Structure formats: structure tokens, C-alpha cells
Amino acid sequence: MTLEYWRGRFVEAGRMWGEQPSDITVHAADDFGRRGVRSVLVAGCGYGRNAVFLSKMGYEVRGVDFCPEALELADEFTAQQACDTCYTLADTLDLPFPDASFDGVFSVNLLHVLNARERPQALQEWRRVLRRGGVLCLAVLALGDPSCGQGAEVEENTFARPGHHSTHFFSEGELRGLLSEFNVEAITGLSEEESHADGERHIHRLLYAVATVE
């Protein structure tokens, strides 16, 4: 995953997925609430649409992203929404927070753009910053997604199209394996319509996981 790609994307497209939270974020808000979560780290928060929603739902939210242009947009969006969401410029592979800093970690549209070396590293960092009993809610693209197989296969089940970032597609077994240091409570297959600011819409097939730290 290259910083320059995402810098260009956020400069060019801005709030590219609109201002409403993803459906997965709504699921995660319910799952966090049922488990007594108060503080949430949003990994790869982009311009803040999901982080702002979680703030409005009453969570103490810290969004992190490695793209300065994304966080400039997030600050602007958060101010417009009159929220107190906080943001930190940081790489999810090397988070600047002490151990056991958060009750929950939320990730969507991030793990599947990392490469094979980076994915377990990200999960290790998320586990490190979670408190005992903390909750991880994440969503990744599944092997059944319509875009799976498009482009050149650069790693197993990872495809790169010209002008796009590389994207990995997960089986449930692979995702469970990556979450081996967590207590996996559920992995659910879901479909979600993704709308873009330019009016484009398409359906994604996702795996949504809820896991805890014992």
C-alpha cells in the first residue's frame, strides 16, 4: 500500500465514498455497545465518515490514518458535523499509543489493501493497543467479491489493476488464521452496496469479524 497513491486519491476525489457511514460501521457500533466498549480506535479512518458516526453514537473515538490529506478532510468533516472526534497521523503498522489504550478497534477497507507481510503486523498492533476484554470489529473483502480476479495476481488471491491499489480477497479460513491470537466470536458473510461521490454504485461481498482479547 503506497502513501503516494492515497495522497493522490484523496486530493482528487475528496469524500469519495460520501458522508454516510458504511453499513459495517452500524453493525460495529451495535457490537461494541453490547460488549461495553467506550473508547474506539478507527484504523485507516480516511476522511472520517465512520469515525464521526461512532462519535455520534457516544463512543470516544480516535481515528488514525497515514495520509495527511485524508486527515485534513477528516478535520473539516468533523467540524461540519460538530463532533469531537480526534485524529492522529500514524501508520497502522506502528501505532503511537501505549499498550492497552482502547476498549475497541474498528477497521474497514484497510486489511485487504495491505500485503502478506503487513496484514499480521497490523493485527499484532491492534491487539497490542486493546485492553484485556477489548473488542476488534473488522471487515475485509471476500473471495466471492465481484472484483476478485480482476488484474494481475501479485500475491496469492491479491490482484492489482492498472491505476488501482493491490487488493487481497479473503477466505474465512485465512481470516480465522490471522485472528489466531484473538478469541473469534463470529465471522459473517455480508453484502454491502458501496456508493461513490460520482454516482457509481456496486455491491461488495465482505467477511465481517468480531473478536476479543482474553
Confidence class for position 164, pLDDT limits 50, 70, 90: confident
pLDDT tops 90 at residue 8:
no
**Which of residues 134 and 164 earns the better pLDDT score?**
134
Per-residue pLDDT reduced to its tens digit, 65-103: 999 999 999 999 999 999 999 999 999 999 999 999 999
Cβ proximity of 81 and 49 under 8 Å: no
pLDDT tops 80 at residue 118:
yes
pLDDT for res 49: 94
pLDDT tops 60 at residue 1:
no
Give the mean pLDDT of 55-68. 96
Give the mean pLDDT of 49-63. 97
Per-residue pLDDT reduced to its tens digit, 199-213: 667 789 999 999 999
pLDDT tops 90 at residue 129:
yes
The CB density around residue 204, as the number of other CB atoms within 10 Å, is 19
**Which of residues 97 and 3 earns the better pLDDT score?**
97
- 33-66 burial code (b ≥16 CB/10 A, e <16): eebebebbbbbbbbbbbbbbbbbebebbbbbbbb
pLDDT for res 82: 92
Q: Which of 21-30, 82-91, 190-199 has the lowest mean pLDDT?
A: 190-199
Share of the chain above pLDDT 70, in %: 92
Domains and CATH numbers, the chain: 3-212 (3.40.50.150)
pLDDT for res 12: 74
pLDDT tops 80 at residue 34:
yes
Confidence class for position 17, pLDDT limits 50, 70, 90: low
